[in-house]
Each structure stands twice: as structure tokens, then as C-alpha cells.
């Protein structure tokens, strides 16, 4: 591949230099392993400033682990988990949620990646009937895999319906920072305050090297989590290097600056293409992703210059993701190239 910069994924970008510096700063001497260290205590305190003393917070390595272990903790294998068809837990976790939880995933069609009470209500039946998997969790992604963002009210509507049926609401927040930047709200305002029970809080896609947090808003849901994390092979021995990243990420609004920037680059990309008749932007651009239907024949030429993924081969829909390090120059060069090829 000639040009290593591209719009394939926010996983493809590097690490913010402040994060690497923070890891370097804690790379001194010996400290107790497995999270019993001053850096981890300090990072957890920082997170508790956001989510409150009653929250229970744990670091893990990956977003998939946060989702899978979080869901495993709040379910039994006879349960089902309602999610969007486009959700990462359904599409991109290689069946790990099913393998580890034993639950049935009920993946539902949405226009824009967002579940609604109306959509989930199709699966709200069979309670107390031993022949039916018992619905236990509604899982939503914020921001969604389609680049859209739930409003706090939309999340509240889902938590109300979940709780009415004795279920819980899980949020996959792999890109929660992008949602917060878009909404102009702090994290708790559209999670804890509107009835989310368990949150996978991401960092990797927004400038960290690895490390995600799992936030339980009620300790009764996390009583066994420390065992589940260890059995799930996600207890980092050198935990201080995850903790140092979180501390830096949350300090000085690094998370916000990175997310505001990647969101802005996605908006710029979409705005540069909005008047190109051959291109149809298919989703609202509310976070750091742009979805568009483009002429099939130009895809390989563009991919050769700036790699990206085709989202839907049938419709020729592509996904362009922006990162904390996407530059205006990247966007302008890319959109100019598109216009040049289409001339």
C-alpha cells in the first residue's frame, strides 16, 4: 500500500504522543502488579470523579473484552441480548459474546444503527416461558457503528423499557468520546443519568495504545467481575501502563480534543462531497465516520491512494473513518482526488 494514511479505521492511526509520554513517566522502578498500585488508584479515582463513588470500574485490554465480559457478568446462558444488526457484538466479535455468555444474540434491523423502543419491542415476549431464551439485556453502541449518536432522551427511552421488563441496558462506548464531543455533554449525562447499567468505555480508538474500562453503575451487578476478568484473561499484570493512559486521557481534556478533531474531520469530508452528484452520503455525520454510496469503479483507485473499507458490496456503500490525527490536508487531498477521478 503506497499511502499509509487513510480512512479505514480509527484503529489504524497511531497513539497520541501525550499517551506515550504518560506511559514512559510511569516506567520507573517496581510497583505492585495487577492493579494494586498508585497509578491505577489514581486513574480509577479520576474515573470516579466522572461516574461517582458508587460506580465500580475495571480496566481491560480490548473493547471486545469489555463488551463480552461486561455482558457475561450480567447474564446467564439462558438469556438473550437484544442488539442492532450492525452492532460490533453481533458483526465483529467472532461470536465471542455467544461463546462466553452462552446467550442468544437477537440482532435487529435499524436504519441508522440506533435501536428504538419500537424496534426492541418485537423481541420483548416469552418472559417466564421456559422454552424461550429470556431477554435480559438491550445493548446499544454510542456512537453507533454507523456514525450516528443517540440523544440522552433516546437512551432514556430504551432504559425505561429495559427496566420495565426487568432487563438491563448495556452501552458499547468504544467511541463514547466522539458521542460526548458531538452532544457537548459529559459522559455520565448520556449513560448513568439516563439509566445505562453497564458501560464499555473506550479509549483505543481515540488516541490510546490499548485499554478500555468497564463501568458498572450499581455494584450489585459487578460482585463477581474480578473473577470473570481474571478467567477472561483480561487482568493486566503491568496494569500501571493502562492506568497511566487513562489518567492522561481524562486529564486536560485530551479525550475531548481528540474526539472533537476527528468529528470535525468527518464533517469536513462530508461537506466537501455533499454537492458531488455521483456521491450520496447515507448517514448523518454525527461522529467521526462518513458513510457514502459511491461509483463502484472508482473504489479501487481511491483505495490505492487512501485505504478504506467497503461497507456494503451490493450497494457500493463505503465507510470513511477519521482519527485524532487525520489532517485537513488528508481530507482535502482525498476529496480533490475523488472529484478529479469523477470529472
- By CB under 6 A, name the binding residues for ligand PLP: 11, 62-64, 67, 88, 141, 145, 172, 174, 204
Beta carbon of residue 327, minimum distance to ligand PLP (angstroms, whole number): 22
Query: Smallest Cα–Cα separation from 103: which of 148, 142, 71?
Result: 71
Nearer to ligand PLP, 108 or 337 (CB): 108
Between CA 54 and CA 222 the distance in angstroms is: 11
Nearer to ligand PLP, 199 or 239 (CB): 199
What would the grid cell of residue 338 be?
475523488
Beta carbon of residue 262, minimum distance to ligand PLP (angstroms, whole number): 13
Using DSSP, state whether 168 is helix, strand or coil: strand
Between CA 183 and CA 189 the distance in angstroms is: 10
Nearer to ligand PLP, 113 or 135 (CB): 113
Beta carbon of residue 292, minimum distance to ligand PLP (angstroms, whole number): 19
Nearer to ligand PLP, 88 or 261 (CB): 88
DSSP 251-273: GGGHHHHHHHHHHHHHHHHHHHH
CB atoms within 10 A of CB 180: 25
Q: Which residue has the CB atom at the shortest distance from ligand PLP? A: 63
Beta carbon of residue 204, minimum distance to ligand PLP (angstroms, whole number): 5
Query: Smallest Cα–Cα separation from 211: which of 58, 318, 79?
Result: 58
Q: Cα–chain-centroid distance for residue 14?
A: 17
Beta carbon of residue 213, minimum distance to ligand PLP (angstroms, whole number): 12
Nearer to ligand PLP, 37 or 286 (CB): 286
Amino acid at each position: 500500500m503506497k499511502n499509509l494514511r487513510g480512512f479505514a479505521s480509527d484503529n489504524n492511526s497511531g497513539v497520541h504522543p501525550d499517551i506515550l509520554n504518560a506511559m514512559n513517566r510511569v516506567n520507573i522502578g517496581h510497583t505492585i502488579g495487577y492493579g494494586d498500585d498508585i497509578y491505577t488508584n489514581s486513574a480509577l479515582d479520576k474515573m470516579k470523579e466522572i461516574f461517582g463513588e458508587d460506580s465500580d470500574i475495571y480496566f481491560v485490554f480490548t473493547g471486545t473484552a469489555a463488551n463480552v465480559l461486561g455482558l457475561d457478568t450480567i447474564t446467564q446462558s439462558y438469556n438473550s441480548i437484544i442488539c442492532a444488526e450492525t452492532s460490533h457484538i453481533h458483526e465483529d466479535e467472532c461470536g465471542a459474546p455467544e461463546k462466553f455468555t452462552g446467550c442468544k444474540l437477537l440482532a435487529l434491523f435499524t436504519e441508522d444503527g440506533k435501536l428504538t423502543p419500537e424496534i426492541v419491542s418485537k423481541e420483548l415476549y416469552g418472559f417466564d416461558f421456559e422454552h424461550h431464551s429470556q431477554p435480559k439485556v438491550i445493548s446499544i453502541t454510542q456512537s453507533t457503528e454507523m456514525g450516528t449518536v443517540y440523544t440522552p432522551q433516546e437512551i432514556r427511552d430504551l432504559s425505561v423499557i429495559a427496566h420495565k421488563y426487568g432487563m438491563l441496558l448495556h452501552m458499547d462506548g468504544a467511541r463514547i468520546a466522539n458521542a460526548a464531543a458531538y452532544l457537548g455533554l459529559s459522559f455520565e449525562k448520556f449513560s448513568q443519568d439516563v439509566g445505562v447499567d453497564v458501560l464499555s468505555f473506550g479509549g483505543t480508538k481515540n488516541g490510546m495504545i490499548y485499554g478500555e474500562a468497564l463501568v458498572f453503575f450499581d455494584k450489585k451487578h459487578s460482585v463477581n467481575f474480578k473473577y470473570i476478568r481474571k478467567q477472561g484473561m483480561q487482568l493486566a499484570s503491568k496494569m500501571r501502563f493502562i492506568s497511566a493512559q487513562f489518567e492522561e486521557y481524562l486529564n486536560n481534556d485530551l479525550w475531548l480534543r481528540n474526539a472533537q478533531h476527528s468529528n470535525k474531520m468527518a464533517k469536513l469530508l462530508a461537506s466537501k462531497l455533499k454537492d458531488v452528484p455521483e456521491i450520496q452520503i447515507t448517514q448523518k455525520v454525527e461522529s467521526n465516520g462518513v458513510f457514502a454510496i459511491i461509483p463502484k469503479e472508482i473504489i479501487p483507485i481511491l483505495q490505492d491512494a487512501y485505504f478504506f473499507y467497503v461497507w456494503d458490496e451490493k450497494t457500493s456503500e463505503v465507510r470513511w473513518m477519521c482519527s485524532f490525527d487525520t489532517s485537513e490536508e488528508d481530507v482535502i487531498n482525498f476529496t480533490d482526488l475523488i472529484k478529479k477521478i469523477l470529472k
